[in-house]
């Protein structure tokens, strides 16, 4: 039984149309405290659209989203305080030092001036950035820039952290480090991460939600799942075959 005090995201009846095209169709997304949820799906499945709606960057056509009990559509500023977001392209400024950039983000996040240093120290420590705090972001390796991107997402200690493709383009050592950071952060926050890398999901996620054509085709823990790859391909191919059969009947 879910303790509702632990429910960090509750999104129901979520749909999004681009003109006539339905990109997300009556979706439900829930996330509880201490959970790392992997959002998976082939290209065009609706992952980015879903994440943009959950982070308040895109209005849903229908549906309700509550972040830590606060209605995102009715009280967007308050709800967004509960959220940290790392888009696929980390929004970092190459000409600032890590410390300057994180202070700037803290102010943008409305962290009171007197608490900025503490917030920056907290995020830097969690993301292993202390040693590079005075370095220009543009001179850092991609793995460290990704850490800076994650640090800006957790600066204000949000309940929910949403990470879009957090390890894309990193080398195997950096990938291992970022994955262990995500697992670590998952203990105190609720995390949603989107990725195309199936082993990544098995390595870091407690639960996986697979989307196809804007709908959920799988939502469950990975207990007892030997190969997520097999589950993924079976589901996607089954859907394709069903859709082809329906089109043939209609023709």
Ligand X SMILES: Nc1ncnc2c1ncn2[C@@H]1O[C@H](COP(=O)(O)OP(=O)(O)OP(=O)(O)O)[C@@H](O)[C@H]1O
What is the sign, positive or negative, of the torsion defined by CA atoms of 173, 143, 150, 88?
A: negative
Instruction: Annotate 210-237 with DSSP letters as a single string.
Output: EEETTEEEEEEE-TT-S-HHHHHHHHHH
Residue 96 Cβ, how far from ligand X at the closest point, in Å?
28
Q: Hey, what are 170's tokens? A: 């990193």
Binding of residue 195 to ligand X (CB under 6 A) = no
3-state secondary structure 75-144: CHHHHHCCEEEECCCCCCCCCCEHHHHHHHHHHHCCCCHHHHHHHHHHHHHHCCCHHHCCCEHHHCCHHH
Binding of residue 152 to ligand X (CB under 6 A) = no
Binding of residue 47 to ligand X (CB under 6 A) = yes
Residue 27 Cβ, how far from ligand X at the closest point, in Å?
11
Instruction: Report the residue number, 43 or 134, with the smaller CB distance to ligand X.
Output: 43
Residue 164 Cβ, how far from ligand X at the closest point, in Å?
8
Binding of residue 60 to ligand X (CB under 6 A) = no
Binding of residue 212 to ligand X (CB under 6 A) = no
Restricted to residues 7-46, the positions that interact with ligand X (CB under 6 A) are 18, 21, 23, 41, 43-46
Instruction: Report the residue number, 151 or 162, with the smaller CB distance to ligand X.
Output: 162
Binding of residue 48 to ligand X (CB under 6 A) = yes
Binding of residue 68 to ligand X (CB under 6 A) = no
Residue 17 Cβ, how far from ligand X at the closest point, in Å?
9
The C-alpha atoms of residue 85 and residue 163 are separated, in whole angstroms, by 6
Residue 57 Cβ, how far from ligand X at the closest point, in Å?
12
Instruction: Report the residue number, 41 or 158, with the smaller CB distance to ligand X.
Output: 41
Binding to ligand X by CB under 6 A, coded x per residue (else -) over 85-124, reads: ----------------------------------------
The C-alpha atoms of residue 100 and residue 154 are separated, in whole angstroms, by 16
Do residues 83 and 99 touch, judged by C-beta distance below 8 A? no
The C-alpha angle 1, 198, 178, rounded to 5 degrees, equals: 85
Q: Determine phi and psi for 224, rounding to 5 degrees.
A: 80, -5
Binding site for ligand X (CB under 6 A): 18, 21, 23, 41, 43-49
């Amino acid at each position: 039984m879910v303790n509702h005090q632990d429910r960090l995201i509750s999104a129901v009846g979520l749909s999004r149309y681009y003109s006539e095209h339905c990109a997300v169709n009556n979706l439900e997304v829930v996330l509880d405290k201490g959970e790392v949820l992997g959002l998976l799906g082939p290209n065009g499945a609706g992952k980015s659209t879903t994440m943009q709606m959950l982070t308040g960057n895109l209005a849903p056509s229908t549906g309700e989203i509550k972040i830590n009990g606060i209605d995102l559509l009715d009280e967007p500023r308050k709800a967004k305080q509960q959220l940290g977001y790392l888009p696929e392209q980390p929004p970092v400024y190459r000409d600032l030092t890590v410390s300057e950039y994180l202070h700037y983000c803290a102010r943008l996040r409305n962290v009171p001036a007197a608490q900025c240093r503490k917030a920056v120290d907290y995020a830097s420590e969690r993301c292993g950035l202390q040693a590079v705090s005075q370095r220009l972001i543009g001179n850092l390796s991609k793995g460290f820039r990704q850490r800076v991107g994650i640090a800006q997402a957790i600066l204000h200690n949000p309940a929910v952290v949403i990470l879009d493709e957090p390890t894309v383009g990193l080398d195997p050592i950096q990938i291992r480090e970022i994955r262990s950071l995500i697992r670590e952060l998952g203990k105190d926050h609720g995390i949603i991460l989107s990725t195309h890398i199936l082993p990544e999901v098995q390595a870091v996620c407690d639960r996986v939600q697979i989307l196809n054509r804007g709908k959920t085709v799988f939502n469950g823990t990975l207990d007892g799942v030997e190969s997520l790859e097999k589950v993924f391909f079976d589901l996607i191919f089954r859907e394709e075959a069903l859709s082809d059969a329906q089109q043939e009947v209609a023709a």
